[in-house]
């Protein structure tokens, strides 16, 4: 007969508490239902040890189904940790619960039930939104969310409220003002969630609310991240798909010309609702030196120009040309045309390993060989200019003499050059004759200057002003009688007169600069050279110094182009083909003149230094005709 008594896997053994069994001096007890003994001084393990129970995902599902506040709090915080591992097709209950938690807050706001909104509701909404945003990075989850009924409408309503809250003056609700930071955070998360889903929202009409809300955000925001994300969403919404011909390839232009007039399902597209002011706001962003911003703008331009949406009764090609004129503002201000012709060539070569162009100079003039090492050296000191003279004349001595020497003489290592002591003293005395002339005059109206140094002190000061100069006495007559006094010449070696006076700072520096920096005349005297002989060595040195040595340059035959280079090249080539190449001989040539104005001063030099730009086709050969 069956019995209702529970069946135990082993007999129950009891041990009297008054006389516990001992083994090796340690009190022990026998575990209930087991044959193992556990030390008496250790507590028993908690119930369930070794049995993990249900997995985390099932635990989250049970918590969400329970409806208990604490369980819901735990589930929403815990599911965010595993958001990248969720597959909504298999976990549809979790996905639907996340959507409900996210939209509950905004449904209460729509119903004006502000008293029911608290911190828990706000936290649940943000947690669910973050989880959906993270999970939407997976392709399968994107496809599942894009097919949820009314999900696009719900996202649009949430985005519209967040736009008004953050950017519309006077819209904020007093009862919800404490959640101001949370609403700004939610705006960023919602845009991140919408971005991948907009790839699935195709053939959007002119009155699409999501499209216009995104445009309102990107035209008013100052936040870089919000602008880029909104612009990407708008670019995705420009995607069209001809449902009547799913097998038609985009590159088959002949097929396109034959069937483009039969495409009825891509008319009335949202692309034709974009205004010139909105386009100009986007194009102006190209002037900011930010590759991330520039790529987002260029991607939008590409989607806008090459969209196959048909405008009214136009063909696809004619519709694209019509949008090109609108983008470039050819019938109005042409501001966008100028910005694109200026920035696109720069973006084509952005981040490429290019060699900087060197400023080219004219070929150096041929120089005649010096028949003497001293030819060309001045024999007398130059006169000070008026400004320098007014400064030096008020100096005390010996500062005035030292400064004058630095300005009018320079050090040299050529021993064949020499300056007589009398010539340098006379030059100094003549330069400052106003000093001794005024001091001899008793007219007190004239200014009184410091006395000049005596000739002996002045000569001694020359060797102090130029530490490497040396005062010498040369005997001119080697053969003289005992009664005849030998003729002597007092000279100073190590200095020479300048061609023109220099500033005080330069003169002071050159007087004490290192020996290796002092220019020396290495050409020895050679009176045997014919008159008019050309110094070929110096000519070649100047030629190599002034011109680019192409043998040492690395001519790049291939470049690792990035997406910014490729998309810039495609757009510029299209503009040149459709606008610049179609300018007639009797037209104003406004576009080609703009292209030349902004690029002829740098683009030819860059290509001359980097011929690989032409070899790889990064820069088209046909573009050069607009730079002449």
In the predicted structure, residue 53 carries a pLDDT above the cut 90: no
Query: What is the pLDDT confidence band of residue 17, given thresholds at 50, 70 and 90?
Result: very low
In the predicted structure, residue 255 carries a pLDDT above the cut 50: no
Average pLDDT (114-129) is: 94
pLDDT of residue 553: 45
Which stretch of 113-117, 154-158, 184-188, 357-361 has the lowest confidence by average pLDDT? 357-361
Domain end: 543, 565, 592, which one?
A: 543
Residues 488, 446 share a domain: yes
Residues 570, 539 share a domain: no
Q: Which residues of 43-55 are buried (b: 16+ CB within 10 A; e: fewer)?
A: eeeeeeeeeeeee
Residue 280 in any domain: the answer is no
In the predicted structure, residue 373 carries a pLDDT above the cut 60: no
**46 vs 160, higher pLDDT:** 160
pLDDT of residue 14: 44
Residue 474 in any domain: the answer is yes
Average pLDDT (196-212) is: 95
Range of the domain at 495: 386-543
Residues 413, 470 share a domain: yes
Residues 608, 511 share a domain: no
Domain end: 543, 572, 598, which one?
A: 543
pLDDT of residue 367: 66
**What residues contact 578, with CB distance under 8 A and at least 6 apart?**
321, 324
In the predicted structure, residue 258 carries a pLDDT above the cut 60: no
Residues 473, 606 share a domain: no
**pLDDT tens by residue, 594-624:** 999 999 999 998 988 888 888 888 999 999 8
Domain end: 496, 513, 543, which one?
A: 543
Average pLDDT (276-290) is: 96
Count of domains in the chain? 2
Query: What is the pLDDT confidence band of residue 33, given thresholds at 50, 70 and 90?
Result: very low
Residue 366 in any domain: the answer is no
**pLDDT tens by residue, 414-444:** 776 778 889 999 999 999 888 877 656 555 5
Compute CA 245 distance to the chain's CA centroid, rounded to the nearest angstrom: 43
The answer to whether 217 and 230 have CB atoms below 8 angstroms apart is yes
pLDDT of residue 380: 84
Residues 565, 517 share a domain: no
Q: Which of 114-128, 349-363, 431-445 has the highest mean pLDDT?
A: 114-128
Residues 571, 462 share a domain: no
The answer to whether 102 and 130 have CB atoms below 8 angstroms apart is no
In the predicted structure, residue 22 carries a pLDDT above the cut 50: no
Predicted TM-score (pTM) above 0.85: no
Residues 536, 396 share a domain: yes
Q: Which of 201-215, 382-396, 510-524 has the highest mean pLDDT?
A: 201-215
**pLDDT tens by residue, 148-179:** 999 999 999 999 999 999 999 999 999 999 99
In the predicted structure, residue 19 carries a pLDDT above the cut 70: no
pLDDT of residue 436: 73
% of the chain surpassing 70 pLDDT = 76
Considering only CA atoms, which of 287, 270, 291, 297 is closest in space to residue 335? 287
**Residue found by looking up tokens 């520039």 in the block:** 294
Within 13 Å and on the Cβ side, how many CA atoms surround 356? Answer: 2
Phi-psi region of 532 (alpha: psi -120 to 50; beta: other; left: phi over 0): left
H/E stretch holding 461 reads: helix 455-465
Pairing of strands 26-30, 22-23: antiparallel
pLDDT of residue 321: 96
In the predicted structure, residue 243 carries a pLDDT above the cut 90: no
Residues 563, 516 share a domain: no
């Amino acid at each position: 007969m069956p019995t209702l008594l529970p069946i135990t896997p082993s007999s129950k053994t009891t041990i009297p508490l008054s006389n516990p069994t001992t083994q090796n001096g340690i009190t022990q007890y026998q575990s209930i239902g087991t044959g193992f003994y556990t030390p008496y001084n250790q507590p028993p393990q908690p119930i369930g040890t070794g049995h993990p129970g249900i997995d985390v995902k099932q635990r989250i599902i049970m918590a969400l189904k329970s409806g208990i506040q604490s369980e819901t709090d735990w589930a929403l915080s815990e599911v965010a940790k595993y958001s990248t591992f969720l597959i909504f097709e298999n976990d549809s209950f979790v996905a639907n619960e996340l959507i409900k938690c996210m939209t509950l807050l905004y449904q209460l706001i729509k119903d004006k039930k502000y008293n029911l909104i608290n911190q828990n509701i706000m936290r649940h909404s943000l947690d669910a939104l973050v989880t959906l945003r993270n999970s939407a990075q997976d392709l399968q989850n994107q496809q599942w969310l894009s097919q949820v009924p009314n999900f696009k409408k719900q996202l649009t309503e949430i985005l519209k409220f967040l736009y008004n809250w953050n950017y519309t003056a006077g819209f904020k609700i007093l009862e919800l003002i404490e959640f101001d930071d949370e609403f700004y955070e939610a705006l960023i998360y919602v845009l991140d969630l919408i971005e991948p889903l907009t790839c699935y929202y195709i053939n959007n009409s002119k009155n699409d609310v999501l499209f216009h809300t995104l445009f309102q955000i990107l035209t008013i925001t100052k936040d870089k991240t919000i602008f880029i994300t909104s612009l990407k969403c708008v670019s995705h919404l420009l995607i069209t798909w001809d449902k009547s011909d799913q097998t038609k390839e985009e590159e088959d232009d002949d097929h396109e010309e034959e069937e483009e007039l039969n495409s009825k399902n891509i008319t009335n597209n949202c692309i034709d609702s974009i205004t010139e002011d909105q386009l100009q706001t986007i194009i102006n962003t190209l002037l900011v030196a930010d590759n991330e911003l520039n790529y987002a703008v260029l991607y939008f331009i590409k989607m806008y120009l090459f969209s196959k949406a048909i405008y009214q009764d136009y063909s696809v090609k004619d519709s694209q040309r019509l949008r090109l004129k609108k983008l470039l503002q050819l019938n109005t201000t042409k501001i966008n045309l100028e910005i694109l012709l200026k920035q696109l060539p720069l973006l084509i070569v952005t981040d490429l390993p290019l060699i900087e162009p060197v400023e080219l100079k004219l070929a150096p003039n041929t120089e005649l060989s010096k028949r003497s090492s001293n030819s060309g050296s001045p024999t007398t000191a130059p006169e000070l200019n008026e400004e320098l003279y007014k400064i030096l004349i008020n100096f005390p001595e010996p500062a005035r003499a030292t400064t004058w020497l630095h300005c009018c003489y320079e050090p040299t290592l050529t021993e064949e050059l020499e300056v007589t002591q009398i010539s340098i003293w006379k030059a100094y005395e003549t330069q400052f004759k106003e000093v001794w002339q005024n001091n001899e005059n008793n007219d007190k109206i004239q200014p009184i200057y410091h006395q000049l140094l005596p000739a002996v002190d002045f000569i001694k000061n020359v060797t102090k002003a130029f530490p490497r100069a040396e005062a010498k006495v040369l005997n001119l007559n080697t053969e003289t009688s005992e009664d005849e006094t030998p003729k002597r010449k007092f000279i100073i070696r190590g200095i020479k007169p300048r061609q023109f006076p220099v500033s005080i700072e330069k003169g002071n520096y050159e007087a004490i600069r290192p020996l290796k920096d002092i220019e020396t005349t290495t050409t020895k005297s050679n009176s045997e050279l014919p008159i008019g002989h050309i110094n070929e060595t110096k000519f070649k040195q100047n030629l190599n110094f002034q011109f680019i040595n192409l043998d040492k340059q690395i001519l790049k035959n291939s470049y690792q182009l990035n997406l910014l280079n490729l998309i810039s090249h495609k757009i510029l080539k299209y503009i040149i083909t459709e606008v610049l190449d179609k300018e007639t001989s009797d037209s104003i040539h406004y576009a080609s003149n703009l292209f030349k104005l902004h690029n002829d001063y740098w683009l030819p030099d860059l290509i001359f230094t980097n011929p690989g730009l032409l070899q790889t086709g990064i820069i088209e050969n046909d573009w050069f005709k607009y730079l002449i």
